[in-house]
Amino acid sequence: MTRYSAFGLLTKALGGHAGWGRAWRDPAPKPSYDVIIIGGGGHGLASAYYLAKEHGITNVAVLEKGPIGLGNTGRNTTIVRSNYLLPENNHFYEWSLKLWEGLEQDLNFNVMMSQRGVLNLFHSDAQKHAAARRGNSMRLIGVDAELLDREQVRAMVPLLDFDNARFPVMGGLLQRRGGTARHDAVAWGFARAADRLGVDIIQHCEVTGIRREGGRVTGVETTRGPIAAGKVGMAVAGNTSRVAAMAGLRLPIESHVLQAFVTEGLKPLVDTVVTFGAGHFYISQSDKGGLVFGGDLDGYNSYAQRGTLQMVEHVFAAGVSMMPCLSRLRVLRQWGGVMDMTMDGSPLICRTPVEGLYLNGGWCYGGFKATPGSGWCFAHTIAKDEPHRLNASMTIERFRDGRLMDERGVGPWPWAQ
Amino acid sequence: MCAAEPRSPLSVVAVPAHPMIAELPSAIVDIAARRGRAGDLAAAIRAEFGLDLPPPGRFAASGDTTAVWIRPETWLVMAPRGAEGALARRLVETAAGAASVVDQSHGKTRVRLAGAAAPRVLAKGCRLDLHPAQFGPGQAAVTPMAQVGAVLLQRDATPAYELVVGSSYAVPFLEWLTDSAAEFAGTH
Amino acid sequence: MIELPRRPRLRTRKGGHVDRDRSLTFRFDGRAYQGHPGDTLASALLAAGVRIVGRSFKYHRPRGIYTAGPEEPNALAGIGTGARATPNSKVTTVELHDGLVARSQNRWPSLALDLMCVNSALSRFLPAGFYYKTFMWPAAFWEKVYEPAIRRAAGLGRASALPDPDHYEACHAHCDVLVVGSGVAGLAAARAAGEAGARVILAEQDFLAGGGLLCEPGQEAWRQEALAALAALPNVTTTLRTTVFGYYEQNMLGALERVADHLPVPPAHQPRQRYWTIRAGEVVLATGADERLIAFPGNDRPGVMLAGAARTYARRFGVLAGSRAVLFANNDEAYGTLAALAEAGAERVTVVDPRPLGPAAAAARRQGFEVLAGHEVTGGHGGRGIYSVEARAIGSAGAFQIDADLLCVSGGYGPAIQLASQSRTAMRWDDRIAAFVPGDAPGQRSAGGARGCFGIAAAARDGLAAGQAAASAAGFAAKAAFALPEGDDPDATVAPFWEVRARGKSFVDLQHDVTTADIRLAHREGYRHIEHAKRYTTHAMATDQGKTGGLVGAAVLAEARGETVAVVGMPTYRPYVSPVTWGAVAGHHRGRAFAPIRRTMLHDWHARRGAEFMEAGLWLRPAFYARPGEAPWDAILREGRAVRQAVGICDVSTLGKIDVQGSDAATFLDRLYTNTFSTLPVGKARYGLMLREDGMVMDDGTTSRLAPDHFFVTTTTANAGRVMEHMEFHAQTVWPELDVQFASVTDQWASMSVAGPEARRTLAKVIAGLDISDAGLPFMGVADATLAGCPVRVFRISFSGELAFEVATPAGYALAVWEAILAAGAEFGIEPYGVEALGLLRIEKGHVAGAELNGQTTMRDVGLGKMAKKGDFVGKVLAGRPGLTDPARPRLVGVRAVDRERQIRPGAHLVEPGSDRSLGWITSVTRSVEPGGWIGLAMLSGDADRHGQRLVAAFPLMNEAVEVEISSPHFVDPENARVRS
Amino acid sequence: MHRIDCPWCGPRDEAEFAYRGDATVRRPAHDAGIDAFYDYVYTRANPRGWHTEWWHHAGGCRQFVKVVRHTMTHEIAGTGKAGDSLPVPAE
Ligand SMILES: Cc1cc2nc3c(=O)[nH]c(=O)nc-3n(C[C@H](O)[C@H](O)[C@H](O)COP(=O)(O)OP(=O)(O)OC[C@H]3O[C@@H](n4cnc5c(N)ncnc54)[C@H](O)[C@@H]3O)c2cc1C
Ligand SMILES: NC(=O)c1ccc[n+]([C@@H]2O[C@H](COP(=O)([O-])OP(=O)(O)OC[C@H]3O[C@@H](n4cnc5c(N)ncnc54)[C@H](O)[C@@H]3O)[C@@H](O)[C@H]2O)c1
Ligand SMILES: Cc1cc2nc3c(=O)[nH]c(=O)nc-3n(C[C@H](O)[C@H](O)[C@H](O)COP(=O)(O)O)c2cc1C
Ligand SMILES: [Zn+2]
């Protein structure tokens, strides 16, 4: 396979670009694999990549029911950060961010990781104190964080409403190493890199059943026939409950829709990722020029990748209230994704009660940033049959045991997480 | 015996006046039938006030007393403001244990909106269909309007409406209402 | 000085829908031009001979006007100036008004000379997805060099950074039948439904009703009559300039009405635009059909235009888009352009038709047009405008030139199915017209061109039938019909013709510069699914969402895959059919009106007294009352000192208050609270704690018993709504057998806390009907009284730790009561105090509040574990989970700066000296009155064991590390003697 | 925007309601133990298909309305009062 480089581009250009081959192969499924990963989103593909790269396990298939990367990986607002409060989350996401920082070179694919900073605004003392607790907790474990006062925020994002705001901006918590990455490229880059290491990426292959014998996984049923496997990992995001149910598991998860939006393309306007603290709203600008933004969950169980006008109205109102100049811009498109919301808002990377079956899910609306770290930890968990220190607390049992990872303290209400 | 007349929440900050809009100072009381006592309550109210407690979606009036359905077996009873607590006391006596009675005279603010353009004003925040075929005199609804919870009732076909909102929301509500009605200031 | 160019010569003398008697002056790129009422900016520019209007996204190729409507991919401009500047406006939809100012976009330094067009020369190095393959070395260059360059080059228009000065409204509408589109089908449908008696809304995005009829002088009478008939029906509302942009659940559609965009500024009290939600019983989609392009080299040049657009400019706007034209079309419908151009004064029109000679072509020949059947266009020449078109006989190599200044293209028409598709109606491929056609769905039907029913007469019949069917589905019997336009239905059959294979760039997405070669590259690299190809090439992702070329791109992909377009399909259609103004959907709720402001009945008094207000949920509360020249902390300490040493008064009206009654009220509260209320005597209050079912603390507050079956519950300001809902949930769904009723009385009662050693003496002066001695009203006693002639309820409760009373009064009396107490307390030095002093007092006392009860803490964590009773209550079982009873969990402690003057801050973490390991964090701090210096509350692992220890309050965000001493959280009067004094 | 037919108030927009989750789980007896409460509070069938759920008519009559809604199509098959048992259509 051709390595990507500027030189490659030049030489291929002279041949009318006829020389480019497939970015990843399109193999037929083999009868059996050492490991099957269900779900060809970023997490599934990254898991396969790290299984091959870190653990030398290359007899691996990623089974994807449609084309890869069109689940949440292909529809998220691309924010990457590691500014978490709870140390369990914080260490994990920081590791993920470190992987992001070298991902282009590692994958030989430009995923356009752009560390333009993530700024969380606060509008009350209570929010400021919560931000301080979070920022200090980050700093204590060596993660970058800065507390900006109102004037520093103004200097950084002058477009915010400092004059007429219902909830005045008091300051913000900034993580400069945070930013955005090109969502599609992440799936494609992992797919191409995993493929190069021998992983079979099998599209249009929906898993319809999980085969078990004596409490142990033996393989999966798919729309392209049964496939045997020693170990099976699930990384199916919004469909986690459905796939887990194939193995008889009932999880602390609900599926909810989250919407996102993009404006018409614009010359550079918003230079950083900004989140509003007085309503649910966040925004960034893509390399293509569209302002990509979103807000809160619609708030009802849903498997439809679409939402309703109810949330649209909230998000738009919050947007113009935060940045009044957005008002005249036109929004081009809205879409939705299905989130596997856990009851404490934090993810699951763990073994399951079924031997040989592993779970990667519960990413809520924050799993894009986790992609490399999640794949890395999931690969470790599958390969070693035990979690890595970084994901040791991300178990199903934590709910039963009361060891919750509830970042915001909202309780077991997924629509509020 | 009271030293001061109660203040209106609308006096807390200035809201511009509008010809279609007027505050109706009222006594307002929430009565909720005790479990299994709705029939007794209805009979007692009928005997005392000469009105039938209305079913969902409606209000009933007798003289200057109005009862609006707001929740299952719960009504808002309104009358022009009289002596402090008088309406609530009268309802406690009337209900005679068949209802929980809560005085809301200060907690709720009642406003009238009247004029041909009134439905167009309300359409700027109210999600109900106020077309005469769908909503007319005698009808009432509890519904949010421009982020404020409100009780809406249509008094007559002018059309004239009455709106009851929580007093701490009265100012922002009136600000929205007068804003929405501004284009009709001359045409009410 | 406005210099006017030569009189436009491209405008016809008569016909169409422009008012030639009046002129409007506008500016484009600084130059003044004239147009007429009825013009769009596009028609006026064309009439003025302006050919290049913009530059393309990636290669910066010069581009002209390509369509006559919202499907325009090329001709985007910035409209307006200053705060009203609006980028990316399609000049084909901008209604001309006097003084309109427009600027071209995406060019530097100027439209004519755009240096970025080097991208075009380099284009072979910039194929689809090139950026994924490069810009990776050296790694640091991405953020500093490559990405900024890409960002500057990308994007189209430039947004204004100024706040939008205009107003917007969100409105709600309802109807029995919504008809979208006012072409012949929509007019017939609306009239049929309206005459049947249904309540009808007819929404049309254009500023004139009529759709395709506006290009049919022969049908003008029918159009006029239809509009008059609709206007006469009171149950029909026709709304122009209104784009229905999205189709949502249960027949709710979103629409955007451009109320004042055709005026220089919106009139007083009028919004610029209105966002409508339309809840419709039945929907008729009469959105017409979109013409599609043909991909051939140079199909993007200025002077290339869709055939229907050229016809529209000629017929509707009286503008001749070119006088030596070539029509390149594969369908009969497009032949209608010939007559339109000829009538408008074209010198010559040559037809290039890839099909063998057919009836339409033969007829055109008879009318004297040159027709090259079996031919195709292989290129267009000219940078600033076409001057010659290259064509060849299909299958032959020998191309020849046709001298031309306009190249009209038509690849056939496809129904505008965006809305139908969003509503999840099934689409089927129709080979006859080579397009996707929607089926019907419950409550929804498409009609006319939107369903592939082309031809005016046919579309009219279809519209009529749809209108009648919709009315009858909505419960209205159809009436006798009205006359419909007559005419022959043209043969709509088309053999698809997607692409001319020849050297050069053949575009399928003009705005994003996506070529057929890009699609094939995507295919070669494995991006073969339509959604992959779309994302890899950005095909159909521009502001026009591929309306003119989307299907063509899909067809090119299909060919590469060796499959049919029907199998390959189209990318998902999503809202918005046309991009929607952000501010319009926000409506009224922006700026200060983003959320309602709740004010207490003492708000104006606080303001007069100089209060600094702070947000508390939706409430505004006084933080403190600084005297002139007084620093905030001085004011806060003064207020706190007054309470500790004399008396203070605080407005606590924002606390949530719930009236709970019923014979089972006590039982109900027992089940919700961790402690017991059934044992509470009448006339007494008790502090209560409520958990979520998962065992975390949800809220706290005092509850008083007013009668055996009557309680008065208070909640924190923040949780009032949540607690009410929690009660309703349990009363309605978990224990529906209980007799309990509740009502929120937060707004009914104003309340004020009167606290301090002189509180009793102060109140005693003004209170009547109540003995407030310790015997008369003991600690936690509740009684009614009058004060200043107003009814009050007095609660002997204390948050501050001092002797205190909470005086509640019906809110309308708040001011009278407040002022009376202040007057009474004057001799004792009474001070009003705000939320900051309130915080100071409760922290000194070790009372928890929102910062400690943040949803992550259990009752044990905050030192209230003793409040758990034996019996059942919500949250009890799960609070017993091992993780929540783990002794290692952080628990409430007090912290005090060792150096009294060193500030400590909430959010600091507690660490051992020299360590980075967090043992806990500080939740609340204050400067204190009694212990003196900075104190705070914190959550700390190993709580009581650490009392007396010294730790460091680390605040690395500000590079601070302050030595603190850990203590019990009760800094003041731990024996609780004062409150009982 | 869903349109939910409140059994008391009639059809109202989603904007008037607050979603409150699965209406099929029941609070166990207080002595049922941690596992039973864990199931009640945390685990969910989370079907793709018909779902019986609570919508609190917070902006209207403040009742918990039971709604049978399809989580893929967002169709609503029926609504009822808290105590009603609603038929769930076959897939
Ligand atoms: C609107 C929106 C905004 C978001 N914003 C952010 C953000 O800014 N930052 C952030 O960090 N995160 C964000 N997220 C969350 C993030 O997108 C997800 O957490 C993350 O992409 C999940 O990745 P995944 O690989 O687990 O899931 P997916 O990409 O959804 O992949 C799962 C795959 O499993 C496949 N699958 C499902 N069932 C089966 C089956 N039975 N057989 C075979 N295959 C199956 C699916 O087709 C899918 O491709 C957002 C999400 C959305 C929807
Ligand atoms: N002149 C042309 O260029 C042309 C093009 C196509 C069809 N036709 C002819 O028109 C007739 C079909 O009539 P018809 O009524 O079906 O279509 P039409 O094209 O005449 O009318 C459709 C109307 O719907 C409006 N519309 C589309 N989407 C909308 C939206 N989302 N919101 C609001 N308005 C929207 C358009 O502005 C247009 O006025 C046939 O005779 C056909 O041959 C003419
Ligand atoms: C970060 C980001 C940027 C996007 N930018 C655009 C855009 O410029 N134009 C566009 O049409 N869609 C854009 N989209 C939306 C996609 O077209 C698509 O709607 C989304 O990925 C969901 O897929 P679906 O609509 O096919 O379900 C963007 C999506 C994301 C996640
Ligand atoms: Zn209701």
Q: Is A101 inside any structural domain? A: yes
- Mean pLDDT in residue range A31-55: 98
- Looking at the 3D structure of chain B, how many domains does it have? 2
Q: Is the pLDDT of residue C524 over 50?
A: yes
The reply to whether B62 and B39 lie within a common domain is yes
| Inter-chain touch B123–C595, beta carbons under 8 Å | no
> Coil, strand or helix: which one is C968?
coil
Residue D38 falls inside a structural domain: yes
- pTM (predicted TM-score): 0.97
Model pLDDT for residues B52-96, shown as the tens digit of each residue: 999 999 999 999 999 999 999 999 999 999 999 999 999 999 999
User: What band does C2 get if pLDDT is binned at 50, 70 and 90?
Assistant: very low
Same domain, A297 and A391: no
Question: Does some domain include residue A96?
Answer: yes
What's the pLDDT tens digit per position in C225-260? 999 999 999 999 999 999 999 999 999 999 999 999
- Do residue B18 and residue B111 come from a single domain? yes
Domain annotation covers residue A228: yes
Total domain count, chain A? 2
Do B96 and B149 share a structural domain?
Answer: no
* B27, B68, B138 from B78: Cα distances, Å: 6, 8, 15
Based on the domain organization, do B93 and B117 belong to the same domain? no
Q: Could you tell me if B131 and B147 lie in one domain?
A: yes
- Domains of chain C plus CATH, in order, are 24-133 (3.10.20.440), 168-289+415-473 (3.50.50.60), 294-410 (3.50.50.60), 603-654+748-841 (3.30.1360.120), 656-744 (3.30.70.1400), 842-879+886-980 (3.30.1360.120)
Q: Which of B55, B71, B103 is the last residue of a domain?
A: B103
Same domain, A37 and A91: yes
Is A9 inside a domain boundary? no
Last residue of a domain, one of A292, A316, A341: A341
Q: How confident is the model at residue C121 (pLDDT cuts 50, 70, 90)?
A: confident
Closest ligand 1 atom number to CA of residue A259 = 1
Cα–Cα distance, C870 to C865 (Å, whole number)? 12
Nearest-CA residue for ligand 1 atom 18 is: A367
Average pLDDT of chain A to the nearest whole number: 96
Residue B2 lies in a domain: no
Answer whether residue A261 is part of any domain. yes
pLDDT of residue C357: 94
User: What's phi and psi for C42, nearest 5 deg?
Assistant: -65, -50
Whether B173 maps to a domain, the answer reads yes
Q: pLDDT (tens digit, 9 = 90+) per residue, C926-944? A: 999 999 999 999 999 987 7
Q: What ligand 3 atom has the least distance to the C-alpha of C545?
A: 11
CATH, residue B66:
3.30.70.1520
Given a cut of 60, is residue A263 above it in pLDDT?
yes
Q: Is residue B4 part of a domain?
A: no
Q: Of B103, B124, B145, which residue is a domain's last? A: B103
In a domain, D87, yes or no: no
**D91 in a domain, yes or no?**
no
Residues A169 and A269 in one domain: yes
Has residue B64 been placed in a domain?
A: yes
Q: Which residue of D has its CA nearest to C692?
A: D41
Pair (A132, A57) in one structural domain? no
Q: Which ligand is nearest to the CA of D9?
A: 4
Which CATH number do you get for residue D16?
3.30.2270.10
B73 plus B31 within the same structural domain: yes
Residue A5 in domain: no
Task: Give the residue-averaged pLDDT of C315-320.
Answer: 97
Same domain, A303 and A359: no
How confident is the model over C122-149, as a mean pLDDT? Answer: 84
Q: What is the DSSP string of C99-119?
A: TEEEEE-S-SB-SSSBGGGHH
Q: What is the pLDDT of residue C135?
A: 83
For residue A17, being part of any structural domain is answered with no
Average pLDDT of the segment spanning C133-143: 82
Q: Where are the alpha helices (DSSP H) in A83-141?
A: 87-101, 103-107, 125-140
Whether D34 maps to a domain, the answer reads yes
Above 50 in pLDDT, residue A209?
Answer: yes
Q: Same domain for A281 and A386?
A: no
Pair (A289, A362) in one structural domain: no
Against chain D, the chains showing at least 3 CB pairs within 8 Å are A, B, C
CB A63 less than 6 A from any atom of ligand 1? yes
Q: What is the pLDDT of residue B1?
A: 44
- Mean pLDDT over each residue of chain B, to the nearest integer: 95
Which residues 6+ apart lie within 8 Å of D36 measured at CB? D28, D29
Q: Chain B residue with minimal CA distance to D63?
A: B71
Q: Which residue has the higher pLDDT, A362 or C118?
A: A362
B187 part of a folded domain: no
Kindly tell me if the per-residue pLDDT of C604 is higher than 70.
yes
Residue D76 belongs to domain spanning: 3-80
Task: Render pLDDT for C771-817 as a digit per residue (tens, 0 to 9).
Answer: 999 999 999 999 999 999 999 999 999 999 999 999 999 999 999 99
What DSSP designation does C124 have? Answer: G
pLDDT of residue C8: 41
pLDDT at C736 over 60: yes
Given CA atoms C452, C455, C460, C465 in this order, what sign does their dihedral have? negative
Token duo for residue A161: 């409403």
List, in sequence order, every residue forming a beta bridge with C318; answer none if it has no partner. Answer: none
CATH number, domain with residue A328: 3.30.9.10
> How far, rounded to the nearest angstrom, does the alpha carbon of residue A176 sit from its chain's CA centroid?
19
Q: Looking at residue B131, which CATH number applies to its domain?
A: 3.30.1360.120
Q: Identify the CA nearest to C918 among candidates A406, A389, A91.
A: A91
Name all residues whose Cβ lies below 6 A of ligand 3: A 74-76, 78, 183, 262, 286, 288, 290, 292, 305, 332-333, 335; C 531, 541, 545, 571-572, 574
Q: Which of A290-299, A339-348, C481-490, D1-10 has the lowest mean pLDDT?
A: C481-490
Q: Are residues B114 and B66 in the same domain?
A: no
Range of the domain at B64: 26-103
pLDDT for C981 equals: 87
Are A160 and A266 within one domain?
A: yes
- pLDDT tens-digit map of C285-298: 999 999 999 999 99
CA of C414 to the centre of ligand 2 (A): 11
Same-domain pairing of B17 and B34: no
Q: What is the 3-state secondary structure (H, E, C) of C350-385?
A: EEEECCCCCHHHHHHHHCCCEEEECEEEEEEECCCC
Residues 6+ positions from A80 with CB-CB distance below 8 Å: A97, A100, A113, A118, A178, A179, A180, A181, A368, A369
What's the confidence (pLDDT) of residue B3?
A: 55
Predicted complex: ipTM over 0.85: yes
Helix spans in A263-363 (H)? 309-322
Domains of chain D: total: 1
pLDDT at A1: 64
In the predicted model, what is the mean pLDDT of residues A303-330? 96
- Flag whether pLDDT at C895 surpasses 90: yes
- Please report, for residues A398, C711, C863, the alpha-carbon distance to residue A403 in angstroms, rounded to integers and kept in the order given: 5, 36, 19
Beta bridge partners of A308: none
In this prediction, residues C696-721 reach a mean pLDDT of: 97
The pair of three-digit structure tokens given for residue C754, joined into one six-digit string? 């009167």
Selection from C707, C721, C587, C586 nearest residue C657 by Cα: C721
Which of B85, B103, B121 finishes a domain?
Answer: B103
Q: Is residue D88 part of a domain?
A: no
Co-location of A99 and A196 in the same domain = yes
Q: Are residues B17 and B31 in the same domain?
A: no
Last-in-domain residue among A311, A341, A371 = A341
> Do A361 and A240 meet the contact criterion of CB atoms below 8 Å apart?
yes
Q: Tell me if A217 CB under 6 Å of ligand 1.
A: no
Residues A228-255: what's their mean pLDDT? 97
Atom of ligand 2 nearest to the CA of C243: 32
- Residue A358, domain CATH: 3.50.50.60
DSSP alpha helix (H) spans, chain D: 34-41
Q: Given this model, what pLDDT does residue A13 score?
A: 87
**Subunits in contact with chain B (3 or more CB pairs closer than 8 Å):** C, D
pLDDT of residue A195 exceeding 60, the answer is yes
Given a cut of 50, whether residue C4 has pLDDT beyond it is: no
Contacts of B14 (CB under 8 A, 6+ apart): none
A297 and A385 part of one domain: no
Q: Kindly tell me if the per-residue pLDDT of A269 is higher than 90.
A: yes
> How far is residue D75's CA from residue B63's CA, in Å, rounded to a whole number?
45
Q: Which residue has the higher pLDDT, B81 or B187?
A: B81
Structure-token pair, residue C642: 């007054």
Mean of pLDDT over chain C:
95
Peptide bond just before C138 cis, omega within 30 deg: yes
On whether both A67 and A159 belong to a single domain, the answer is no
Residues B33, B91, single domain; the answer is: yes
Decide if A25 is inside a domain.
no
* Residue D8 is assigned to a structural domain of this protein: yes
Digit-coded pLDDT (tens) for B147-181: 999 999 999 999 999 999 999 999 999 999 999 99
Which residues in A lie closer than 8 A to residue C878 (C-beta atoms)? 402
Beta-carbon contacts of residue A34 (< 8 Å; ≥ 6 apart): A57, A59, A60, A229, A230, A231
Residue B3 within a domain:
no
The pLDDT value recorded for residue B188 is 44
Say yes or no to pLDDT of C326 above 80: yes
In short, whether C205's Cβ falls inside 6 Å of ligand 2 is: yes
Nearest to C773 by CA among C796, C748, C791, C752: C796
C789: nearest CB among B2, B107, B176: B2
Q: Which among D8, D60, D63 is the nearest to B143, CB-wise?
A: D60
Question: What is the reported pLDDT for A18?
Answer: 87
Judge whether B5 lies within some domain: no
- Provide the domain limits for residue A323: 118-177+255-341
CA C633/CA C378 separation, integer angstroms: 80
